[in-house]
Structure 1
Amino acid sequence: MMLDIALYLLLSTIISISTIMYILFTLPLAFTYKPKSSQSDIKRSDITVLIPVYNEDVSVFKEVINSVKREDLKFVVVGDGCDDPYRKIVESAGGLFIKLPKNGGKRNAIREGFKYVKTPYVLLLDSDTILPENSVEKLASKLSDDVVAVSPEISVLPGKSKIAYHVSEMMQRLREISYRALGKFKSIVSLNGQCILVKTDVIRPLIESEEFNSVKLWRFSTILGDDRQITNYIYSRGYKATVTKDVVVKTKAPDSISGLLKQMVRWYRSNNFFLIKEISDGTLFRKGVFYMFTVLYWYTLPLITLANYGLYTEITMRHIMMHWRFFVKAITTNPIRFFQYMIISKIDSTFDIQSSPVNSMAHHFHHYILHSIDPIGIMLFKSNKLSVDIIVFHYFYVFHTLVGEVSTIASAIMILTILVYTRKVRGFALGLLAFPLMFMADIFAVMTLWRQKKWSGRS
């Protein structure tokens, strides 16, 4: 058995088993989880809303400010290198506007705005996130002695691109289901940075620290992932955080596919950075076994899948190079018949392959290409003798095939569950583009992870 074939079988089996386990645990946990609520004694006067703004759509920003005013909350807006028309909108609504001389990023804006937060609780709100009515009481009801931070779930508003909107919506629903499952164990990957209600004194030391200004990992640093950092800091202090489905806030989808991809790459760069940091500082292990499995599955699956496809391609090309004469002769003799055989033989193993010289050559090629990952197929082609190793690999190959089929069925159930859950048949097909786009974005993010010491933020 060649090493590349054995490794291919092993990796594809790991992918299939991990997918089955993830779906098997996530779906039941997600739809049986009911977070506890309590009568909150938090008053509206105990909360300050902090909104950093930079180059935001003015009409969207007006809606955000109106939603905050409707909730009768005091609010501070930090203009990150910008002034009017944001200042006029804020001050006319009774809020405080702080202008920073130049664009320094969301983290810097939050840090400066925190100087004006004197209340026990702070609501960190993005400049494009609209609060629904009576959302503050519902969010506050999820807080307790150990749960000191809460975020709502996210609903995506359509932008200029339908594809970007449906893909963004699919990504949010996937994340929502996973977060509900994690919520069963009071472990979440990250609070939703668009809207976070948190106890001020718990995170103030972090916000005022140099670490918040630029997160460091060895000799690298990032200004991305402020919500992930806040979440990890809360858990490191012995507290917990949660995301509630009782409140859903709206945020706008990117206006183009390129904008969506940039957003996805930014997210994956941040997530991969913090995954490595969580492993190195031990945070990953403090959030529980299910959390550890979930995040490792999320962020290593694209890499393992890429390696797996690379191995399959190498195995196929190696056998093409070894038997290229058969390949060339079959193609030149009857290319239509040859490719027809190559396709049909994958479906019908009883296909008559002895009826012509072309089929005979295709039969030879079939053994070395299509069945190159089947140890029995390879060995029986060379010898009629079976060793213990061949028998073991044969049964492992059968197991590999079985779990692959089960994984496919489980994935189909997951997709159908999302369809039923969202009840949005229209645009669902476009939403499925989220899977290849997430795969490409994660791979690109990993490939460019170490090329720069500091990354640009949302701006």
Structure 2
Amino acid sequence: MVFGLISSFYYIVNSYNSMKYRRKHNDKSGDDFTAKDVTIVMPVYKEDPIVFEESVASASQQGSQVYVLGDDCDEPYKSIAEKHGCAFIRVSPHRGKRGILSYSMKIVKTPLVMFLDSDTVLDHGAVEDMIKYLEEDVGGVGTNISIFRNGHPVSYTSEFVERVREVIFKSMSRKSSVMVLDGRCALYRTNLVMPFLTSREFQDNTVMGKKSVLGDDRQLTSYIIRSGYRAVKDYDVYARTYQYSSFKKFFKQQIRWGRVGWTYFFKDIASGSARKAGPLYTFNLIYMYLLPIFTAVIGIMTLIYVLPHIHILFYGVIPSMRADPYLIHRIVRDHRVPLLFVARSFVDFLTSASAVIFGVSISTTMKGEKAKVFAYGSIGLLMMFVSTIYALFTFYKQDRWLTR
């Protein structure tokens, strides 16, 4: 019952805050930044050249300097980048994304820096719109993420996951910080992130003594919050990206995200970052990561305590009701039904109703093919449930990428 009440609160509060979220209408940020004050850094390594060109073309139209950093690679990326007026630098030896982000601080001279993945396409005017959110207490701004729907079920599954995140993060952006500025596209204050990106803590990040190659974006977001700034998102700007072509790869992605999530769940609680980010951040953080655990425990308890007594329902209660249709009425009238049963029924109803409200909130964020997104999204939720539990017991395994 308690868990049901907490779930109802989670659904209702996030739905309400999401609906009440309003975009920024001011034309300039507090520091009057423009797109020329932004350097766009795009790491590239073994990317599909066609997808890469889409991404580079969108970046080159933002009015900012664009640097493509080849992670121990050059062609065909060098020619494509220069074709669109972007600078190309080959960085050797191979460093991985963390190493490239750290290296980029040597060339960024502007007050703002944007990190953009090489498979992510920006809306026209995205940079100009995002800098409006850089108020004095904001250290980083993310974008809304959208998945290119190619007809494969995984693209609909991933789109559903992103729309759920949109509702929750919109809610958090009203009062506090989001949990993560997605590494696919995010804008930062250079003087804030430069010391951290060039530190050994970031470059040689470890989890339980093992080098971690995952979670650079979550680590950077946590650092921003810990430094006394907020991390927010611009939900009117979309960074559109491609998804994997199989549920197996999607599941591996969820495992990666889950391992990183559990790592920073513990770190944010222990370091006080969650407290600094605000009560809604703390509540959502705890609920989102403990939900699968509580659900699994309740399911196991049900199997242990309810199933052995299920015969009472079929061989006792149901036959009695057939013989006496007014049995339940008299039991309730004579107060032989514990109040706990009535309270539990009310909580179940409240939880179901609030979940429907949450579903409606998700629906408002979708554009077309809602039935497919919800249908395949249910598969995604189940996979996220399983991967989150699995990730809890394997979160220390972050020394490899779980290749596509």
TM-score in terms of structure 1 length: 0.78
- CA RMSD in angstroms, aligned pairs only: 2.8
Q: Are the aligned partners of 1:17 and 1:403 in contact in 2 as well (CA < 8 Å)?
A: yes
Match of 1:350 in 2: 321
Percentage identity across paired residues of the two chains: 29
Residues in 2 aligned to 1:42 and 1:349: alpha-carbon distance in whole angstroms: 75
Match of 1:45 in 2: 36
Match of 2:385 in 1: 439
Residues in 2 aligned to 1:423 and 1:48: alpha-carbon distance in whole angstroms: 31
Does residue 429 in structure 1 map to residue 375 in structure 2?
Answer: yes
Between structure 1 and structure 2, the one with the greater Rg is: 1
Distance 1:318 1:58, change over 3 A: same
Distance 1:294 1:274, change over 3 A: same
Q: Are the aligned partners of 1:77 and 1:113 in contact in 2 as well (CA < 8 Å)?
A: no
Does residue 286 in structure 1 map to residue 276 in structure 2?
Answer: yes
Shift of 1:318: 5.1
> What residue identity is the alignment partner of 2:383?
L
Shift of 1:157: 0.6
Residue from 243, 255, 265 that aligns with 1:275? 265
- Deviations 1:345-396 (CA, angstroms, capped at 9, x unpaired): 5xx983459xxxxxxxxxxxxxxxxxxxxxx9xxxxxxxxx9xxxx9x9333
Residue from 221, 224, 228 that aligns with 1:231? 221
Residues in 1 aligned to 2:208 and 2:252: alpha-carbon distance in whole angstroms: 25
Residue from 221, 239, 249 that aligns with 1:249? 239
Task: Give the paired residue count.
Answer: 390
- Give unmatched runs, 5+ long, in structure 2: 325-330
- Deviations 1:105-162 (CA, angstroms, capped at 9, x unpaired): 2111211222111111111101111111111111111112211321111111124x62
Distance 1:102 1:89, change over 3 A: same
Distance 1:432 1:457, change over 3 A: closer
Residues in 2 aligned to 1:294 and 1:142: alpha-carbon distance in whole angstroms: 23
Shift of 1:216: 3.7
Residues in 2 aligned to 1:99 and 1:311: alpha-carbon distance in whole angstroms: 57
Distance 1:70 1:349, change over 3 A: farther
2:321 is paired with a residue whose SS is coil
Residues in 1 aligned to 2:363 and 2:281: alpha-carbon distance in whole angstroms: 25
- Aligned runs of 1:36-435 on 2, under 5 Å? 36-40=24-28, 41-159=32-150, 162-217=152-207, 219=209, 221-316=211-306, 345=318, 350-352=321-323, 394-424=338-368, 425-427=370-372, 428-435=374-381
Residues in 1 aligned to 2:322 and 2:388: alpha-carbon distance in whole angstroms: 41
Distance 1:254 1:197, change over 3 A: same
Shift of 1:412: 2.2
TM-score in terms of structure 2 length: 0.88
Match of 2:327 in 1: none
Match of 1:31 in 2: 19
- Give unmatched runs, 5+ long, in structure 1: 1-12, 321-325, 328-337, 354-375, 377-385
Match of 1:454 in 2: 399
Residues in 2 aligned to 1:349 and 1:298: alpha-carbon distance in whole angstroms: 43
1:433 is paired with a residue whose SS is helix
Residues in 1 aligned to 2:171 and 2:304: alpha-carbon distance in whole angstroms: 38
Residues in 2 aligned to 1:457 and 1:228: alpha-carbon distance in whole angstroms: 18
1:141 is paired with a residue whose SS is helix
Distance 1:144 1:420, change over 3 A: closer
Q: Are the aligned partners of 2:207 and 2:398 in contact in 1 as well (CA < 8 Å)?
A: no
> What residue identity is the alignment partner of 2:302?
Y
